Amino acid sequence: MASQAKEKQIVRAAEELFNSRRFHEVTMEDVCRAAGVGKGTIYRYFKDKEELFLRVATSGSEELCDVVRRKCAEGLPFEERLVGILIEIHQAKRRRGLVRLLMRSDDARVGRLKGALHSHFEDRRSALISAITQIFDEAIREGKVRTDVPPELLAGSLLGMFHGYSWHAETQFQREEGLQFLDLFLRGAGARTASAQEVRP
Amino acid sequence: MASQAKEKQIVRAAEELFNSRRFHEVTMEDVCRAAGVGKGTIYRYFKDKEELFLRVATSGSEELCDVVRRKCAEGLPFEERLVGILIEIHQAKRRRGLVRLLMRSDDARVGRLKGALHSHFEDRRSALISAITQIFDEAIREGKVRTDVPPELLAGSLLGMFHGYSWHAETQFQREEGLQFLDLFLRGAGARTASAQEVRP
Amino acid sequence: MASQAKEKQIVRAAEELFNSRRFHEVTMEDVCRAAGVGKGTIYRYFKDKEELFLRVATSGSEELCDVVRRKCAEGLPFEERLVGILIEIHQAKRRRGLVRLLMRSDDARVGRLKGALHSHFEDRRSALISAITQIFDEAIREGKVRTDVPPELLAGSLLGMFHGYSWHAETQFQREEGLQFLDLFLRGAGARTASAQEVRP
Amino acid sequence: MASQAKEKQIVRAAEELFNSRRFHEVTMEDVCRAAGVGKGTIYRYFKDKEELFLRVATSGSEELCDVVRRKCAEGLPFEERLVGILIEIHQAKRRRGLVRLLMRSDDARVGRLKGALHSHFEDRRSALISAITQIFDEAIREGKVRTDVPPELLAGSLLGMFHGYSWHAETQFQREEGLQFLDLFLRGAGARTASAQEVRP
DNA sequence: CATGAATGAGCGTTCATTCAT
DNA sequence: CATGAATGAACGCTCATTCAT
């Protein structure tokens, strides 16, 4: 059906605009011009501006969640899977700024999304967190990760630290950087004492 | 001078409103009603709505920066100073939602603040980061922190991880939780091997 | 021809809608949904919304006029014919609110109908009035009605009084009520003096 | 207070427009232009277009009711009072077309006025009817009017007949025409028989 | 200085109308 | 012919901003 395509067309145009300007700075006129459709057309697909915004926000995150879940299921060592996920997240952040919302859903904006949409959005965040939590669950069982911190908290911390870390690496983020970061996360910022160093030859 | 007081009055009222609603959902009428001043009065203190918003955002962060800088200068062990700072940040986040901007100034919103105000705002973030960076500098000199990661990156990572970590601890965050978190940050999420554990008696 | 049927289908649907909502509250979408036809189809039968509205208004009145004219031609005593007409009018008002326009074509709305359509509509009113006027003409010739008031004025007055009178008798209006009303119209509201009463045994 | 004046200014401008065009043909821009005020100003006084329309409709009728009530209280013969009232109504209809609504409040438009405003409007009509009803009450006590028709029905009929009658006398309507009309109403349209004529010498 | 009534540019939204299918 | 997705002119309404009091 052609309408699927047109909807995507609108979402994509809106995405770009919402990423570079604030909600109230983006006019529906901007969106329809950017999307190359008539003004009324947008309203065939979205009840109002708010719904369009929400859709843009959630659509990005949905895709990311799918990719992440797939990565989780891969039969690789947990470090490799985490690095893969981080790379995906980093790319998604660059492509679609709104995914950022996912990483800080305490945002006032998200807090006020209404009803079903709100929970749908929260679900996305949970989905991301819980996908990563699963990896930590396995890693704990394998004795690879400390057991005194709930895996969920580990997942949240990983995501948070990555957000702060990748701040400086705006350009690209590939396997190598991913491993560096993971080393910081897994071994900690503390100095390695002589004997501790020996442990990891 | 009375105007100082009135200005604070307006900022405080606006702060509360901007924390619970989006920029475009807060009207100047709301602000002046909440502040108990006439509508025109606001314009004696702030050029326009945007400037008011910025002021609210920056004023919160400015206070936080001051507190953090003071904490940094205290002659305590670096772990204690970090915990003190984290507690302050946590409280500031609860009091003033806009401080959150500080912790993720990659936010599209901040990215578009104009001219002098933008850099002034960026400065706040840098101030926070660099205050913490200083602590890490010292800690590196004392051999307490790993040297293969630039201290600035450590500061960013700490802040980020804290953001993710404290997400689950919405209620309160005191010295004890601070130490737990710091342990995670410094020793990492990886499992302690037998010999490594011995190192830290 | 099928188009005749489809046109009627549309008019009937529109009729119902225009009776319960104002012109601007009825959308063409409402009409086509109610009529069970495509949106574009309406435009094959009516130039625009205005024309549809007019057609609805006039179509109701046209039917009424036909019935009234037929009643006029019946060879009954003039009182009986008038009562028959009133009953028809009353029913038409209930069925099709727009007939009301007929009875008060001074309505601002009617006053602005354009060109040919306007006069066509005015014609309907005239038709109604003149049908009744004919009856009065005959009655005057028979010496049954006062001669100092132009029959046209009598017709208008009858219609008007009936409108006010029937206001209270929303439910039903049959021969008996018709005769009561006619008595008021013909003998007047004034008290019957003793001798005057004698006159009508 | 100046706002009273400005409100009246707006109502008057709107009145003129609503009298010559339909609700949906009058734009708020038209109104504010005609009233000589800014667009936003209207919204300080009226919640929306609907409320403005309602106000226009009711304000005209309120004034008329006052005048009519005053006329009712005058110590004149009932015929004189009725004529006075009719003249007022006629003038009001010419000045303010919306008063017409009063005379046909079965209008779909009125039927859908919401809540308090609806009843307020219905009240006006009742007020008009009941003022006239009072006159008939008195006249009945004086034996001047027939007793077999409820005075309320007489009032409604009078108003209705007058509406139909005055249709032809668009120009002016003064005491003389009033008496002619009243004669029709009181003595009826029926022919005066010889003896009946004698009764009223 | 403080106020809030007044303003009007500009926005979101609607809906009559068109036209490719 | 019938359809309904697409259109965009036009509208109601908001609200940041001004300025007379």
Nearest chain D residue to C169, by CA: D153
C abuts D (3+ Cβ pairs < 8 Å): yes
Min distance D156 CA to chain C CA atoms (Å): 5
Rounded Cα–Cα distance for residues A124 and A137 (Å): 20
Q: What is the DSSP letter of C147?
A: S
The pLDDT, as a whole number, for residue A35 is 94
| Mean pLDDT of the C46-54 span | 88
- Subunit contact A190:B192, Cβ cutoff 8 A: no
Is the pLDDT at A147 greater than 60, yes or no? yes
Q: Among all strands, which nt has the closest C1' to C2 (CA)?
A: F1
Exposed/middle/buried for A69, CB within 10 Å: 0-12, 13-18, 19+?
A: middle
* Torsion sign across C-alpha atoms B126, B127, B128, B129: positive
Residue D10 pLDDT greater than 90, yes or no: yes
A91-105, B14-28, C73-87: segment of lowest average pLDDT:
A91-105
Let me know if A38 is exposed, middle or buried by CB neighbors in 10 A (0-12, 13-18, 19+).
Answer: exposed
Average pLDDT over residues D23-46: 93
Token pair for residue D153?
Answer: 């029905």
Given a cut of 90, is residue C89 above it in pLDDT? Answer: no
Concatenating the DSSP letter of every residue in chain A gives -HHHHHHHHHHHHHHHHHHHS-GGGS-HHHHHHHHTS-HHHHHHH-SSHHHHHHHHHHHHHHHHHHHHHHHHHS-S-HHHHHHHHHHHHHHHHHH-GGGHHHHTTTSHHHHT--HHHHHHHHHHHHHHHHHHHHHHHHHHHTT-B-SSS-HHHHHHHHHHHHHHHHTT--S---HHHHHHHHHHHHH-SBPPPHHHHHH--
Average pLDDT, chain D: 79
Contact state of B190 with A145 under an 8 Å Cβ cutoff: yes
With a cut of 90, say whether residue C43 has pLDDT above it. yes
Confidence class for position A105, pLDDT limits 50, 70, 90: very low
pLDDT reported for residue B119? 64
Amino acid at D69: R
What residue type is A109 in one-letter code?
R
CATH for the A49-187 domain, from 3.30.1490.190, 1.10.357.10, 3.30.1380.20, 3.40.50.300: 1.10.357.10
- pLDDT band, residue A36 (cuts 50/70/90): very high
**Arch. (CATH architecture) of B1-46:** Orthogonal Bundle (1.10)
Give the residue with greater pLDDT, B171 vs B97: B171
- Looking at residue B115, its pLDDT comes to 54
- How far away is chain B from the Cα of A90, in angstroms, using its nearest Cα? 13
The pLDDT, as a whole number, for residue D201 is 39
Give residues with Cβ within 8 angstroms of A146, minimum separation 6. B184, B187, B188, B189, B190, B191, B192
Which protein residues have a C-beta closer than 7 A to any atom of strand E?
A 24, 26-29, 39-40, 43, 48-50; B 2-3, 6, 37-41, 43-44; C 24, 26-29, 39-40, 43, 48-50; D 2-3, 6, 37-41, 43-44
Condensed to tens digits (0 to 9), the pLDDT of residues C179-192 reads 989 999 998 877 76
Q: Is the pLDDT of residue B187 over 70?
A: yes
C178: nearest Cα among C98, C95, C89, C96:
C89
The correct CATH number of B49-188 out of 3.40.50.300, 1.10.357.10, 3.40.50.10210, 1.10.3720.10 is 1.10.357.10
* Touching pair A, D by Cβ (3+ pairs < 8 Å): no
The pLDDT value given to residue C82? 92
Q: What is the pLDDT of residues D148-177, one digit of tens each?
A: 888 988 998 998 898 888 776 656 788 888
Name the residue with the least CA to C1' distance from nucleotide F12. D28
Here the tokens at position D174 are 């003064």
Question: Do B160 and A158 make contact, defined as CB atoms within 8 angstroms?
Answer: no
D161, D166, D186: best to mutate for the C interface, most C CBs within 10 A: D161
Residue A62 reports pLDDT greater than 80: no
Nearest to A121, CA basis, from A56, A48, A58: A58
Test C167 with D187 for CB contact under 8 angstroms.
no
* Residue predicted with more confidence, B10 or B164: B10
Written as six digits, the tokens of D51 are 């409320």
Would you state the structure tokens that stand for residue C108, as one six-digit string?
């601002």
Asked whether C65 and C74 are in contact (CB, 8 A), the reply is no
B170 vs D38, more confident? D38
Query: How does pLDDT run across B113-137, given as a tens digit for each residue?
Result: 555 555 666 677 777 888 889 899 9
**Closest CB from D97, D147, D162 relative to C108:** D97
Binned at pLDDT 50, 70 and 90, residue B195 comes out as: very low
Q: Which one of D28, D48, D165 would you mutate to disrupt binding with C, by most C Cβ within 10 Å of its Cβ?
A: D165
Q: CB D21 to CB C112 under 8 A?
A: yes
Output the six-digit token pair for A13. 């145009």
Whether residues C190 and D104 touch (CB distance < 8 A) is answered with no
Res. B107 pLDDT band, cuts 50 70 90? very low
Chain D residues in contact with C163 (beta carbon < 8 A) = 104, 160, 163-164
Chain B touching partners, 3 or more CB pairs below 8 A: A
CB contact under 8 A, C190 and D97: no
Q: Which nucleotide is nearest to D49 (CA to C1')?
A: F12
Alpha-carbon distance of A66 to A62, in angstroms, equals 6
Q: Which residues touch strand F (CB under 7 A)?
A: A 2-3, 6, 37-41, 43-44; B 24, 26-29, 39-40, 43, 48-50; C 2-3, 6, 37-41, 43-44; D 24, 26-29, 39-40, 43, 48-50
Average pLDDT score, chain C: 79
B172 residue type, one letter? Q
Give the distance from residue D162's alpha carbon to the nearest chain C alpha carbon, in angstroms: 7
For testing the chain D interface, which of C184, C186, C193 should be mutated: the one with the most D CBs within 10 Å?
C184
Distances (CA, A) of C17 to C37, C47, C103, D9, D111: 15, 19, 20, 35, 14
> H or E segment at C200?
none
- What are the structural domain ranges in chain B? 1-46, 49-188
Closest CA in chain B for residue A100 = B107
Question: C51-77 b/e with 16+ CB inside 10 Å = b?
Answer: ebbbbbbbbbbbebbebbeebbeeeee
Please indicate whether residue B187 or residue C106 has the higher confidence score (pLDDT): B187
Q: Is the pLDDT of residue D197 over 90?
A: no
The nucleotide lying nearest D2 (C-alpha to C1') is E5
Which residue in D56, D101, D167, D182 has the most chain C C-beta atoms within 10 A of its own C-beta, making it the best mutation to test that interface? D167
pLDDT at residue C171 above 80? no
Protein CA at B37 to nucleotide C1' at F14, angstroms:
21
Closest Cβ–Cβ partner in B144, B158, B164 for A156: B164
Which class is D59-186 in CATH? mainly alpha
Give nearest nucleotide to B41 (CA–C1'). Answer: E2
Q: Which candidate, A184, A86, A199, places its Cα nearest to that of A135?
A: A86
pLDDT for the residue numbered C127:
78
Question: Comparing C-alpha atoms, which of A49, A94, A87 is closest to residue A177?
Answer: A87
Kindly indicate the confidence band of residue B196, based on its pLDDT and cuts at 50, 70 and 90: very low
Q: What residues pair up with C190 in beta bridges, in sequence order? A: D145
* Residue C195 or A63, more confident: A63
Count of other CB atoms within 10 angstroms of residue C175 = 12
Q: Is the pLDDT of residue D198 over 60?
A: no
| Average pLDDT, integer, range B8-12 | 91
**C-beta atoms of C164 and D163 within 8 A:** yes
What one-letter code names the amino acid at A120?
A: H
Task: Kindly report the nearest CA distance between residue D6 and chain C, in angstroms.
Answer: 26
Q: How far is residue B86's CA from residue B159's CA, in Å, rounded to a whole number?
A: 8
If pLDDT is split at 50, 70 and 90, which confidence band does A127 have? confident
Mean pLDDT score of chain A: 79
3+ Cβ–Cβ pairs closer than 8 Å linking B and A = yes
Q: Is the pLDDT of residue C154 over 50?
A: yes
Architecture in CATH for domain C56-184: Orthogonal Bundle (1.10)
Whole-number percent of chain B with pLDDT over 90: 21
- Residue pointed to by tokens 């145009």: A13
Q: How confident is the model at residue A119 (pLDDT cuts 50, 70, 90)?
A: low
Provide the token pair at B138: 């010292």
Task: Tell whether the model's pLDDT for residue A27 goes beyond 90.
Answer: yes
Work out the angle between the directed axes of helices C49-73 and C2-20 (0-180°, nearest 10): 100
Strand E: positions under 7 A of a protein C-beta atom: 1-20
Structure tokens that stand for C87 in this block: 């009953």
CB A22 within 8 Å of CB B108: yes
Instruction: Report pLDDT for D20.
Output: 78
Of B23, B24, B160, the CB nearest to A160: B160
Interface size C-D, in CB pairs within 8 Å, comes to 163
Closest-CA distance, C33 to chain D, in angstroms, reads 22
Res C114: pLDDT: 53
Measure in Å the smallest separation between the Cα of B47 and chain A Cα atoms. Answer: 18
Q: If you average pLDDT over each of A113-127, B161-175, B179-193, D86-100, which comes out highest?
A: B179-193
pLDDT at B27: 94
pLDDT beyond 70 at C199: no
- Mean pLDDT on A11-29: 87
Q: Which helix (H) or strand (E) holds C21?
A: none
D112: three-class secondary structure by DSSP: coil
Query: For residues B86-123, b (16+ Cβ closer than 10 Å) or e, as one string?
Result: bbbbbebbeebbbbbbbbbbbbebbeebeeeeeeebee
